[in-house]
């Protein structure tokens, strides 16, 4: 039985959630997100989990896959299998991910960190993006205005990953560790430790704060269904003062 939890969180926005433990020990969960773009423009996917049979069946129902994106330096493990399944899709990733990917035959159609600032990749009518050049993992935040959803990988966690472990034998909880969401001590520590350029972080944090989103879809932890902007501002308050 598959451990993938597939759910439509908003119209034309589907998530694919699975168990995943960092270093094989600490449960953080994994999640890919697929967006059916408007006007017959196809499907955009943030790739972060395996393309199992259930995932592929749902993706194929949504329409032709046009874009596959990696959200940061470390979420590249499944790019190759998605690209093999959808060879006509454009592949876009941060430079750090292109350097780390094991399948060196992959050809990237866009590279955050190498392409000129302001480069358009073809999905901007549906999904906006902000590359965090000052963040250690070189994350990219995405905004889907139609559903007021912000999607990201390691910029913000919302642990424990209850939904991602809901079909697993494990609860996804760590004994004696409570919620590690955006309002916790964990995030003030995280944002400080992951910053490599304070001014760049201030610029990009403010860009995301200018988006009109209510929901945050993280790769790790439960979806923040409402008050997502409050969560973002709480996690990054030191860069917004």
* pLDDT tens per residue, range 1-30: 789 999 999 999 999 999 998 766 789 999
Cα Rg, the chain, nearest whole Å: 17
Whether residue 177 has pLDDT greater than 70: no
Q: What is the pLDDT of residue 176?
A: 57
CATH code for the structural domain at 5-113+124-240: 3.60.15.10
Q: What percent of the chain has pLDDT over 90?
A: 87
- The mean per-residue pLDDT over the stretch 217-228 comes to 97
Q: What is the pLDDT of residue 192?
A: 87
Average pLDDT over the chain reads: 95
Whether residue 183 has pLDDT greater than 60: yes
pLDDT bracket for residue 36 (50, 70, 90): very high
- The mean per-residue pLDDT over the stretch 190-213 comes to 96
Whether residue 169 has pLDDT greater than 90: no
pLDDT bracket for residue 190 (50, 70, 90): confident
Q: Structural domain boundaries of the chain?
A: 5-113+124-240
Whether residue 132 has pLDDT greater than 80: yes
Whether residue 53 has pLDDT greater than 80: yes
CB 156 within 8 A of CB 232: yes
- The dihedral of CA 94, 98, 101, 106: what is its sign? positive
Q: What percent of the chain has pLDDT over 70?
A: 98
Whether residue 188 has pLDDT greater than 90: no
67 closest CA partner among 47, 46, 89: 89
Q: What is the pLDDT of residue 70?
A: 98
Whether residue 175 has pLDDT greater than 80: no
Query: CA-CA distance, 29 to 224, in Å (whole number)?
Result: 14
Q: What is the pLDDT of residue 186?
A: 85
- The mean per-residue pLDDT over the stretch 32-48 comes to 98
Number of residues in the chain: 241
């Amino acid at each position: 039985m598959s451990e993938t939890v597939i759910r439509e969180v908003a119209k034309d926005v589907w998530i694919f959630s699975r168990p995943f433990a960092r270093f094989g020990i600490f449960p953080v969960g994994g999640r890919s997100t697929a967006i059916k773009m408007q006007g017959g423009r196809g499907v955009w996917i943030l790739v972060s989990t395996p393309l199992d049979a259930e995932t592929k069946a749902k993706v194929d129902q949504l329409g032709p896959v046009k874009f596959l994106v990696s959200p940061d330096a470390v979420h590249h493990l499944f790019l190759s299998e998605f690209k093999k399944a959808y060879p006509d899709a454009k592949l876009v990733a941060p430079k750090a991910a292109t350097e780390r990917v094991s399948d060196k035959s992959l050809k990237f159609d866009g590279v955050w960190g190498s392409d000129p600032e302001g480069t358009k990749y073809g999905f901007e009518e549906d999904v906006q993006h902000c590359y965090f050049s000052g963040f250690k993992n070189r994350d990219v935040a995405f905004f889907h205005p139609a559903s007021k959803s912000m999607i990201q990988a390691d910029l913000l966690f919302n642990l424990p990953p209850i939904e991602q472990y809901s079909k697993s034998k494990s609860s996804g909880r760590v004994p004696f560790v409570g919620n590690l969401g955006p309002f916790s001590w964990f995030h003030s520590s995280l944002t400080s430790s992951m910053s490599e350029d304070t001014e760049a972080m201030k610029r990009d944090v403010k860009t995301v704060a200018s988006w009109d989103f209510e929901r945050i879809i993280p790769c790790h932890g439960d979806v923040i269904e409402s008050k997502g902007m409050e969560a973002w501002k709480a996690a990054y308050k030191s860069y917004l003062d």
